Structures are given as C-alpha cells and as structure tokens.
Structure 1
Amino acid sequence: MRAERTGAPRRLDTRQVSEDLLRAALDTLPIHVAVLDANGTAVAVNDTWNSFTEPHPFIGQQYGVGTQFLELCRTEMRDCPEEARKVLAGLREVLERRQQRFEMEYACPDPDGKERWFRFRALRSERGGGARIILLHEDITERKRAERELQERERLFRLMADTTPGLVWMCDAQRLFTYFNRRWLEFRGRRIEQERGRGWMDGIHPDDRRRWEEEFAAAFAAQRPFELEFRLLRADGEHRWLLGSGAPLSDPAGQFGGHIGSCVDVTDRRRAEEASRFLAEASNVLASSLDYQTTLGAVARLAVPQIADWCAADVLGADGSLQRLAVVHADLGKVELARELERRYSVDLEADRGLPNVLRTGYPELVSEITDELLAEMAGDAEHLRILRSLGLRSYIIAPLIARGRTLGALTLMTAESGSRYGMSDLAFAENLAGRAALAVDNARLYREAQDLNRMKDEFLATLSHELRTPLNAIVGWAHLLRDGKLDEETTQRAIETINRNAKVQNQLIADILDVSRIVTGKLRLNLRPVELPPIVESAVETMRPTAVAKGVGLETQIDAAGGLVSGDSDRLQQVVWNLLSNAIKFTPRGGTVRVRLGRERSHSTIVVEDTGAGMEPHVIPRIFERFMQGDSTSTRTHGGLGLGLAIVRHIVELHAGSVEASSRGPGQGSTFKVSLPTVAVAADAESGDSGRRRAGDETGGGHAATLEGLTVLVVDDHQDARELMTAVLQQRGARVVGAASTDEALELLRTEKPDVLLSDVEMPGEDGYALIRTIRALAPEEGGRVPAAALTAYARREDRVKTLLAGYQIHLAKPVAPEELVTVVTSLTGRSG
C-alpha cells in the first residue's frame, strides 16, 4: 500500500506494525483499492490499483496517489462518458455526506474492442480523526460472462420448454413447484402465480390425487425418476388424461435440487384403447343373438358410462314409424324422466336438426357444445326447457344405423355429468359402433325375412299345387267321360263348359305367374299412350259382373266421365281393375256389395274399389302387396288364389308413375283399395266422345301428348348415349334439358340451373345415384333439397325399389325406359295435368 511520506524519522510502534500488516494484506487483494480524502484526492492505493493504472489502456497514464478523482471522472474517461458521469455523481453524494455508500456496475470496451465489466464501490469512513472515502474497483468480466451464459442457457431452456408440445414443470428441493411452461399455463387457463407451490394440484381429478401424491412423494424421497397417468382439469372444464414423468435435478455441487418433468395429453390414446376394447365387447354382444331389440339395449347399457352419460337406440319400422328400443343413464330416475318426456313431447319428424334429420339424410350429427339456444330450439315449451337445462347436457353425437345403403335407425350418445365434449375422433368411433349395430339389425331382419320368404315359398308351392290340381282334376275327369262317349247331350254340354271354365282358371294362374316372372326380371313392358280411364273401368266392371252376380254380390259403379286422360297401357290398366274387382268379389260374402269409383283429385285420377267383405288385420295391410302374401295361408282357408294379383297391381301402377294403397277398419269390416294415376294435359281442341277416345289410343297421341313446356329437367347418367336419348325425348315434348355425367357435375348444375325435375342413373362410377340424392336431400329447400326425383336402374327387385325410395327418390324406374314412360314420369313428378 503506497501512502505519503514526510521524511522525518518515525518511531517503530505497535500501531505502525498493524498498519504495515494491513497494507500488505491490501496489496495481496485482487480488488483495486484506493483511499480518498475529503476533497476526492487519492492518499493511498494498493499494488493491484497501481498494476491496473501503469499506464492503464483506459486512462492512458498512471493515476495513483495524488490523483484528483473528481477531475478524472470529468475529463479522462472519454470511452465511457455516461458511466463516468454516473460515477462522478455517486462519488459526490458520498463526499458530500448525502450517502454513506455508492455502488454500480458498468461496462467499457478495452483497446481490442472487447467488452469488459467492472464493479465500482465508494464507502465513507470517519474513523481516524478525518473523513476518508474508500474506493473498491473490481474487474467482474468473467463473472458477467458466466451470468450471461447462464441467462442464455435459461433463455434457451425456456424457449425450448415453451415450444415443446408437452407441459413442462420444475419443483425445488422442498417439493414446491417453481416453474411451468407456456403450454402448461394455456392448458390450465391460469397464471403462473396460481400454479406455483402446490396450487396446480387443485386441478387433479379427485379420484387420482392421492395416487399422484403417493407416487410423487416416493420418487422424491428416493431421488429417482417416476411416471404415471392421471387426470388434470383443462381450462374448458374437461378432465384430460396426462402421462406425467419426472427426473431428479442436481445443483452444481451435485446436491439433489428437486425434479423436472413434463406431461403429455394421452386422452385420445386412452379413448382409442377404450374404444377398441368397447367395440370388441359390443361386437360380441351384437353377435350373441339375432334379437336385435335385446342386443341394441345391451350395447346402450354397455356405453354408459364408458363412452357416454346418456345412450339411446332408435330403429325405423317397415312402415317408417320410429321405435325407441332403449334409453340408458346411470340414474334410473333420470331414465324414467326421459321416458316421461318422450310420452309428453312427440318427435317432429320434419325437424332440420337432431334425430329426425339424421334419419332423413343418413348423415351423422355432432354437437360439441350444447348451448342454451340449442336447448330452447329443442324444447316443446317452457317446462320442457327447464327440465332439459336441469339435466346439464354438454355434448352429443347421433350416428345413423346404415346397412346396404338404407337407414335403419340411429344411435345417440350424450354427455352431461362427466363434462366431456365430443370431437371428430369420437364421431368416427360412434359411426364405427353404429355400423356394427346396423349390421346386426340388418342381419337379424334378413334372417327373419329369409324365414318368412321360405315359409311363404313353401306355402306358395303348396297353394300352387292345390290351385293347379283343382281345375286340372275337373278337366281330366270330364275329358275321360267325354272320351267314353256315354254322356247325354245336356251332360256333354255341361262337361265342355266345365272344361272351358277350368282351363281359363288355369290360364289365368299361369298368366299371373308369368307376369310376376317378368316383374322380377324387369321385362314387364308397357305400351304407353294417352288413354281415357272411364271406358277401361267400365269394361273391367262388365267383364267381372257375371262373376259377382253368380256369387250374389252387388256391383255398384260411380264413374266420372271427366275422370281424366292418363299416359298408360290400356290392357295393363284393365288388368289392374280386374284384379282389384276379382279380389273384392272373392272376399265379399253373398249379399255383400262391391263399389267402384273413378274420380279426380287435383292432378291425379283415382280408382277406388271398396267392398263389405272380410276386411284385414292391421298387421297384414303393410305387406298386402307383396308377392305370395295372403291374409290366410292355412289349409282351412276359404278363398283360393296364389297371392299374386295384388303384387301385380302394385307393380303395374308404379310403372305408370302412380301409387296404390290399401286400408281396412278391421276383420269383417271390408277393405278399400285406391289407385292414383297422374293425368296428362289435353289439347284445348281435343275431340270428345268416341273420337276423343280413339285418338287417345293412337300411337303418337296427336294433340293429347303430354307437354313439358317451361320445365327444366336435370338428367344424370355417366353414359353419353343414354343422356342424349333422354335429352332428345324430353326436348321433343318442350322441356329444357341439362345433362351431367357425374355426381359433382350434377350438384353444380342443381345449384346454377334450379331444375324442376331430376332423372338420375343409379349405377355410376365414383359416387353413385344414392349418394347424389342423399346429398341433395340434405340441402335446404331453396338450394334444391326438395327437387322431385326419379331413379333409373337396371335392377328391378323389390329390395332395389325400396332402396331407391328410402334414399330419397320418389319414383323407381327399371331400365330400359320407354320414351312415353319417361315423359309420364316427368309429368307425374311435376303435377302437370289437363
């Protein structure tokens, strides 16, 4: 330590020795030390200070004892003027006794341009009889570099932690959590101050918290890694499954400093595993029985609470009615409440949302969040809304049961108490489950239908044998007697009449069988032309009158002469009336009455055949037009026949773009059959009477041909020849025709052209005609969702017809289609009439 000397001899004493020892100690310090007097002049410096300023690059010359530091700060620190100004200000504060001490850290570049950091401290001391200022100046460049490296490592760690997809956390040696990354805070929707310590643990699911705390405490005590799955509350209120893992931390000295870890959301993985197990179990249940009503109920019970808080299963009956097979909830009281709501509030089958919409369109419906507005839309009244709100419904999925292109019903999954919200993965799962359930329902129905068909086939063959043998027995018997030549003239005449009558019966039986064969193979063709219905009905009535008279049944007619002009095959239409009259007379007892009425209802002509006969059971009516169907197929039945007549009626009527329906008030109360046929326009100068009827039967139809003026028809067929043929036929009748070769093209034309009618092929590459009509029916009416449509297909089986009608078409046409038949279909769909 250097200090001022006066040159006078001094006496060695203890105080001097202590000062020398102090100076020696100060000279060994790595810190630059200087002592200033009350004016700011250096009166002593240590060797480290001198080494720093001999001469120092920052100063340019040595500054030791005698240096005036206030002046130095004002004039010499050119490279760091701002820092020098702060030092000067702080030093003045201490010199003038306004502060006891002053401290600052500053940076200055060295001659090489590298940044160096210093720590400057000024301490005031009043000891020794005078004021002294002790300056401590320290090079802290290495420390600063280490701090910056630490800060950079921390910055990179935070950047990495904030960008990682996982939820990162840290805890200290006291098991208090000190850090959470950005994704954790976003997941939780809370501030870091709320999560620190043990605050985040409030979000652990109550069923998992004890398990988490025990595992974490054990890992902490053993200073080992750990891993476990638990549920944590997310910001939206849903408990999500997390895979949490942690590893021990060590401080620079190697001491245990806590844990660092991360959590990964594994909810989707767990749900997929649970879904796989559930689907396997559900498949076993569905395959366990052909009683689909029982198995669907079992699946619904299996779904709660594994994948839903509520589950309902609904199926469509053969008549289109809706039947709820099951509604399941863990609380039986709520199940009874749901049943009561079903009884009190009927389902609007025309609703644009919910179960009716899914059943109508065949598309699933996912609602991730059930809002109060949606509840209000669903509610029937204020009380209904109050109950729905009290159930706490959160989210739902309705998945259609679709098999072989037909919608058989729907499966509804709904969350409430669990707080879960369904997403796209849940929708895919629900569709998978619904597909398996639909297959089970379809298989069960097919098995039942196969049993019914097999029974009906056996009954038909037995009936056929009986019906053929009965007239054949009379023919063969009388033929033998005639061959013997021993009959008198009167008996011979009766024998001939009997043989003739029974031959006609056999001929009719064979004709019916052949007609059914043509229907099944799609070969029953119509010779369409404009025809008047009154003479057709009158002719059929007169043909059947002798049969009615012979049985003692009254036959009454009410024929409107303006019954209407239809495009049809006169022979086949007469066959329709014959079959209906024959059926009515057969089942009407002696003394009863059969009434025939021909009239008009808007754009359709109607033929009604009503009898006072045996009537029908309610369960028979929906299937009365099926082949081989008979109200009584037992060996004790009182009426003969093969059960083909009404099936032939239905098919002929539908080929005329019409419809037929049956009704009865019950057994013994008679039956009513009503045929409805679309009328066609009649020219203003059409002739009346026989001349008009003669012209109606002409091949071309003359002035009575149906006109399609003003109509736009969209024709969809992937075969160009077919499109061109239909276009030519329809354009000849005045229609404007636009053609499409694919579903996508058809949908675009539907949007731009707004057609009045759609005629579509069913069998097309890519998306077929079924997909097209389902997409259209899902549209709003103003977008073309209700456009009248007819399907053209090479398949003519009953199930093919049912499939097209269920898909959304109004008419099913078997190829090839005659030109007049095509025109008739368009007029029928648009309601064109004379």
Structure 2
Amino acid sequence: MTPPLQVQAAPDDELTLLRLETERLRQLVETTAQVTWTDSPDDGQAPLANAWLAFTGQTREQMRGRGWLQALHPGDRERIRAAVDRARAANEPWAERYRLCRAEGGYVWMLAKGVPVRAPDGTIREWVGTCVDIHAQVLAEERTVFFARASELFASSMDVSSTLATLANLSVSALADWCVVDVLHPDGHFERAQVVTSDPAHASLAATVQRMKPVPQEHPVYPPAVALATGRSTLVPEVTEAVMRSAAQDAEHLETMRRVDIRSLLTVPLLARGHILGALTFLITTSSRRYDEEDLRFAQELATLAALAVDNARLLQDAREAVRLRDEFLSVASHELKTPLTPLSLKLQALARAVKAHPESPLAPIIESHVETGNRQVRRLTDLMNNLLDVSRINAGTFRLQREEVDLAQVVREVAGEFAPRFAVEHCGFQVEAPEPVRGCFDRVRLGQVLEHLLDNALKYGAGAPVSVRLTVEGGMARLTVRDEGIGIAPEQQPRLFERYGRAVSERHYGGLGLGLYLTRTIVEAEGGSVSMQSRLGEGATVTVELPLARP
C-alpha cells in the first residue's frame, strides 16, 4: 500500500494555512444556526458578534461594554449581569437562560454559554460563547406547569363562577394582557361573566367591556359571537382598524375596542359533551408579541380543560338542587303523612279499650292481635316520618340538641326494655350489660334514638341470631357497643353506610330508607363523640359509639 503523501510546508506556508483555517472556522461559526459571539475583556472594543448583531438588530457601538445587556428582557438583565460578573471574577465558564429580543420584535428564550480562552501565559485573552434558541422547550415547560396548576385549581372548585374567575386570572398571567369570558347559560341567555386585565389602571375600562355582552347574530363576525353561535375559534394575529370596524357591533363597541388598543386577538369556544358553554377571548395590548397557530392550540387545550370543569360544576349544582327539592318534598310529605297518623292511632287506642271492656267476646283475641299489628305499623311509619324530618332539619341547619344531666346506663336499659318483646318474637337472644350509672350531659331523647337505630339494624340483619349491648367507661369516655351475629357487611361497603341513604344490601330484601346510621353518626358527632363499625361478611357486625363524659 502506498503511504499517504506528506507535505512539508515552509514557515510562510504554515502561516498561510493557519490564516485559511482560521477564516474557514470563522465562516463556519458565522453560518451556524446558533448566535455566536466573542468578547475581549480588556481592550474595550465592541465584541465580534455578527450573528448577534443580525439577530438582535444592535450595532457594534451599542454592544460596547455592557450594552449587549440592553437586548435582554428587562426582567433578566440584572440576573445575567451578576452571573457574568461572577464567572469573569472566577475565570470560569457560565451558562444561563434569558429572553433575547429579536430585531423584528418579540423575545425568544435562549440558553447562553460563555467560555474563557486563555493565552499561553494563562491569562484570559477573550471570551467566546453561543446562544441557542430554546424558546419552544421553555414554552412547553411553562405550559406543562400551567396546565398542572390549572387542573389543580379547576378540580378544587365546584362552583361555576369560581371556575371562570380562576380561568380568567390564570390566562392573564400566562397567555394574555386581557381575558374575556362569555357564558351561554342552559336557558339560552348570554352573560359576560369575567373581564380581567393585567393592568389595574384599566379597571374602569374593564367594567365597560364587561357591560358589552355578545349577541350572536345570524351571520356573526365579532369573534366571541362567532364562538357562541357556531363553536368556531378565531385567530387574528394583527388587529387593524379595518378588523375592528368589521367586528364592531355598534359605534360604542368600536370606540371601546380602540380604547383597549387591541393588537392581537384569539377566541376559542368552551365545548363539553357536544354543547357550547361559552367562549374565551384573549387580547394582547401592550407588547409586540402576536398570537399564532401554536397559541391557538394551547388556548383550545385550555378551553377543553376549563369546559369540563364548568360542565362538572353545573352538573354538581343541578344535583344539589335536585337533592334540595327532594329533601324539601320529603319534609312536606312527612308533615302531611303524620297528620292522618294521629287520628288513626287514636282510633286504635279506642278500639283497644273497647275490646278490654268486652273480654268475653269471642272476637276479642282476634281484634287485640289486629290492634297490636296496627300499632306496630303506626309506630314504624311514625319513626320513618321522624327520620325524614330530622334529615330535613339537618339540611336546613335547624337540627339542635337539648342537653341535660343524663344517666346513660338508664337510657340503655329503658330502650333495651322496649325492644325486648321484639327480640323475643324474632327468637333472638338479647343480652344487655349496663350495671353502673354513667353520667354525662347529653340529649336524652337523641341518645335513645341512637340506640334504637342500632338495635333496629341488629334485629333486621341478624334475625334469629344473638344480639348484645354493652356500656363501659374508659378514660373519661363512655363506650356503647352493639354486637349482632347476622349477615355482616363487607369492609369496602362500611363507610357509605354512615352516609345519607347509604345501603349495603338490596332494599327488596331489607326495608328502611338508609337513614338510621346516618342519623346515628350525626347525633353522636354533634355530642362530640364518634361511631365506628367492625364487620365481615357472614360474621356479624359490631358498632361502637364513644361519647365524652366531660364537656368544656
């Protein structure tokens, strides 16, 4: 194989080759996509930075000294000045992010790096550096953070007005100088719900803008009206006088747009489940920035997120209103149903007295049985009506306790005595342990109601199985435990049993409204105590009520 040709250059040739190589490298640097620069620390000359000059529009004279800092965003200048000073004092490389102004206007995020070049004696001969465009990366990072923050705030608000206010304020901080939120209500009327501006001095003007509601026409031109009527977005990168004239709904509207000084506009609809809920309009009024297709995509993603939040808030409001109407109906129905129960109960009592007056009648035993059955059903219906009334009182905030000095042991024995015949009929073993007085300040009637609910559940779900009631005192707390050996409840079902209308079994096989444990929890917590359950399927259930005996 022939060895490579070796060319031995003369000293002058070496100098020429060095100059050619230097020029080649200079041309290579000048044509790179990066902004490059060199800067001598001592000679006071303007830096050699043709790429910088072309990008920023600065002159070499403007760059002299620290003049190049004027091309940076005002919010970044002092930070970068300090970083460069620290690096030069330590003769170490530096790397920082900052916003650099283009010659045609608008700031771009750059990753700037500077490196010292040393002379043979170790001194710093010059600094060289690059600025790499990272605008897309920074924008993506900022928008990721923005969406995370927006999602968090939307999720924390279940009110339509709060959601829209959050949306407007977030948008002004990240996307616009002004944000206008228009809403299309379910009944068909339009509302300008929010107008937010970044400049507090424009508060009066913002109020004027808010009074000007969009009214979609048959062929709308005004961007918010277009979004509300058709669900289409509008992007106007440059808002001119002609654009404002074509979009204005009247002379006052045109004059208001002029006062706002709109320079760029973006409107996107709020869409959820195929319905138009409103429109978002973003305005640029103070900078050379202009909206583009990337901004449109970002605004549409934000609108989708916001529309879901608004839709969820509306659904929740509708559900709450439905619950309110239901509870209102149940309250009225409870009062109305109790009205005929009183004379019915009186008639049963009169019939019972008549039977006792003629004990020799062969129909007496049959009538007594029917009267007792009627009384049980009246009591059951009365209890159901009272429970519904209690629920309506809780919802209305009128549920009150009437506290007095109470012996809990006596209350337990009295309620247990009332239930004993029912347990006997169902052939359930029934054991009660409440031997000593346990005194505290409670609502006697409500605590009796708590035990009634617990015994009623034990009887319902543990028919034929033993039931025990135990009252003890530990560390200033009274502990009431009701244990049955019935069907039991799966652990995952237990928390919902203490909610209103909560059930873990089919209402077809077990009656009731699902209010007993809800009222139990409400009463116990109002007394400053707690209630809990331990149960497994097929292994019965134990409900424990703890009440403080000492009250502040």
Do residues 373 (structure 1) and 246 (structure 2) align? no
Shift of 1:409: 0.9
> CA offset at residue 344 of structure 1?
5.7
Question: Closer, same or farther in 2 for the Cα pair 1:314/1:272, shift >3 Å?
Answer: same
Q: What do the CA deviations read for 1:62-99 (whole angstroms, capped 9, x no partner)?
A: xxxxxxxxxxxxxxxxxxxxxxxxxxxxxxxxxxxxxx
8 Å CA contact retained: 1:179, 1:196: no
Whole-angstrom CA distance in 2 between matches of 1:157 and 1:288: 57
Matches within 5 A, 1:497-536: none
Aligned-partner residue type, residue 354 of structure 1: P
Partner of 1:692: none
- Name the CA shift for 1:224/1:317 in 2 (closer, same or farther; >3 Å): same
Letter of the 2:310 counterpart: V
Letter aligned with residue 444 of structure 1: A
Q: Is the 8 A contact 1:286 1:296 kept in 2?
A: no
The aligned residue for residue 315 of structure 1 is 183
- Provide the rounded CA distance (Å) in 1 between the counterparts of 2:330 and 2:259: 61
* Partner residue, 1:394: 263
CA distance in 2, matches of 1:306, 1:186: 29
In the alignment, which residue of structure 2 is the partner of 1:228?
96
State the alpha-carbon separation in 2 of the partners of residues 410 and 382 from structure 1. Answer: 23
Distance in 1 (CA, whole Å) between partners of 2:214 and 2:296 is: 27
The 3-state SS of whatever aligns with 1:420 is: coil
Which whole-Å deviations, capped at 9, do the CAs of 1:167-187 have from their partners, x for residues lacking one? 1111013264422243x3342
d(CA) in 1 for partners of 2:235, 2:283? 10
Q: Could you tell me how far apart the structure 2 residues matched to 1:440 and 1:249 are?
A: 56
Contact 1:397/1:414, CA 8 A, preserved across alignment: yes
Say whether residues 1:259 and 2:127 are aligned partners: yes
Q: Which amino acid aligns with 1:293?
A: S
Are 1:436 and 2:305 an aligned pair?
yes
Residue equivalent to 2:504: none
Change (3 A) 1:221 1:454: closer
Aligned length: 325
> Is 1:178 the counterpart of 2:47 in the alignment?
yes
CA positional deviation for 1:450? 4.0
Could you list the runs of 5+ residues in structure 1 that have no partner in the other structure? 1-113, 117-140, 464-834
Q: Partner residue of 2:433?
A: none
Pick aligned residue for 2:145 from 274, 277, 282 = 277
- 1:205 maps onto 2:88 in alignment: no
Q: Given that residues 327 and 335 in structure 1 are in contact (C-alpha distance below 8 angstroms), is that contact kept between their aligned partners in structure 2? A: no
1:404, distance to aligned residue in structure 2 (A): 1.3
2:211 & 2:67 partners in 1: Cα distance? 49
Distance in structure 2 (CA, Å) of the matches to 1:444 and 1:345: 23
Deviations 1:544-566 (A, max 9, x none): xxxxxxxxxxxxxxxxxxxxxxx
Separation of aligned partners in 2, 1:372 and 1:192: 38
Deviations 1:18-72 (A, max 9, x none): xxxxxxxxxxxxxxxxxxxxxxxxxxxxxxxxxxxxxxxxxxxxxxxxxxxxxxx
Q: Hey, what's the Cα distance between the residues in 2 that align with 1:339 and 1:357? A: 22
Instruction: Report how far residue 435 of structure 1 moved.
Output: 1.1
Is the contact between residue 187 and residue 235 of structure 1 (CA under 8 Å) also seen in structure 2? yes
Whether 1:328 aligns to 2:196 is: yes
Taking the aligned partners of 2:61 and 2:91, their CA distance within structure 1 comes to 26
Give 1:407 shift. Answer: 1.6
Report Cα offsets for 1:457-508 as digits up to 9, x if no partner.
8999999xxxxxxxxxxxxxxxxxxxxxxxxxxxxxxxxxxxxxxxxxxxxx
Partners of 1:355 and 1:324 in 2: CA distance? 10
For 2:210 and 2:188, locate their aligned partners in 1 and report how far apart those are by CA, in whole Å.
18
Matched, 1:244 2:106: no
Q: Does 1:338 align with 2:338?
A: no
1:405 equivalent in alignment to 2:244? no
Q: Flag the 1:345–1:324 CA change in 2: closer, same or farther, 3 A.
A: closer
> Residue 128 of structure 2: SS of its match in structure 1?
strand
Identify if the C-alpha distance between structure 1 residues 270 and 219 changes in structure 2 by more than 3 Å, giving closer, same or farther: same
Q: Quote the residue 2:172 is aligned against.
A: 304
CA distance in 2, matches of 1:201, 1:267: 19
1:287 CA drift (Å): 1.6
What amino acid is aligned across from residue 425 of structure 1 in structure 2?
E
Aligned equivalents of 1:243, 1:287: Cα separation in 2? 35
Contact 1:188-1:233 within 8 A present in 2 as well? yes
Any conservation in 2 of the 1:395–1:416 contact (CA below 8 Å)?
Answer: yes
Distance 1:187 1:363 in 2: 37
**Could you tell me how far apart the structure 2 residues matched to 1:152 and 1:259 are?**
20
Judge conservation of contact 2:194–2:210 (CA < 8 Å) in 1.
no
User: Cα gap change, 1:265/1:439 in structure 2, threshold over 3 Å: closer, same or farther?
Assistant: same
- Alignment partner, residue 426 of structure 1: 295
Shift of 1:449: 3.6
Change (3 A) 1:410 1:152: same
C-alpha change, 1:379 and 1:246, in structure 2 (3 Å) is: same
* 1:416 lines up with 2:416 in the alignment: no
The answer as to whether partners of 1:170 and 1:177 remain within 8 angstroms in 2 is: no
CA contact (8 A) 1:231 1:240 kept: yes
> Any idea what the Cα deviations from partners look like across 1:335-393, whole Å, max 9, x if unmatched?
33133245368645442351111223323222233233323333456665455344333
Could you say if the C-alpha distance between residues 203 and 266 of structure 1 is closer, same or farther in structure 2, counting changes exceeding 3 Å?
same
SS of aligned partner of 2:76: helix
C-alpha contact 1:345 1:380 (8 A) present in aligned 2: no
1:233, 1:352 → 2: CA distance? Answer: 35
The amino acid that maps onto 1:339 is A
1:741-752 correspondence to structure 2 within 5 Å: none
Q: Is the 8 A contact 2:191 2:213 kept in 1?
A: no
Which residue of 2 is the match for residue 157 of structure 1?
26
Q: 2 CA distance for matches of 1:180 and 1:382? A: 52
Assess if the C-alpha contact under 8 Å between 2:192 and 2:210 holds in 1.
no
Q: Does the 8 Å contact 2:190/2:213 carry over to 1?
A: no
Aligned residue for 2:140, secondary structure, equals helix
Equivalents in 2 of 1:231, 1:209: separation in Å? 9
Q: Deviations over 1:509-550 (max 9, x none)?
A: xxxxxxxxxxxxxxxxxxxxxxxxxxxxxxxxxxxxxxxxxx
* Higher gyration radius (CA): 1
CA distance in 1, matches of 2:264, 2:38: 36
* 3-state SS of paired residue (1:207): coil
- CA deviation after TM superposition for structure 1 residue 294, in Å: 1.7
- 2:316 equivalent to 1:447: yes
RMSD over equivalenced CA pairs, Å: 3.4
Aligned equivalent of 1:70: none
Q: Percent identity?
A: 40
Distance 1:347 1:217 in 2: 58
Q: TM-score, normalised by structure 2?
A: 0.52
Question: How far, CA to CA, are the matches of 1:311 and 1:201 in structure 2?
Answer: 32
2:235–2:266 CA contact under 8 A, matched in 1? yes
Structure 2 CA distance, aligned partners of 1:266 and 1:202? Answer: 20
For residues 318 and 325 of structure 2, what CA distance do their matches in structure 1 show? 10
Find the residue that maps to 2:291 and give its secondary structure.
coil
Aligned residue type for 1:165: A
Alignment of 1:266-665 (within 5 A): 266-343=134-211, 347=215, 349=217, 350-380=219-249, 385=254, 387-451=256-320
- Alpha-carbon separation, structure 1, partners of 2:62 and 2:200: 40
Task: Give 1:661's aligned residue.
Answer: none
In 2, Cα distance between equivalents of 1:325 and 1:145: 76
Tell me the residue number matched to 1:668: none
Which residue does the alignment assign to 2:434? none
**What SS does the aligned partner of 1:272 have?**
helix
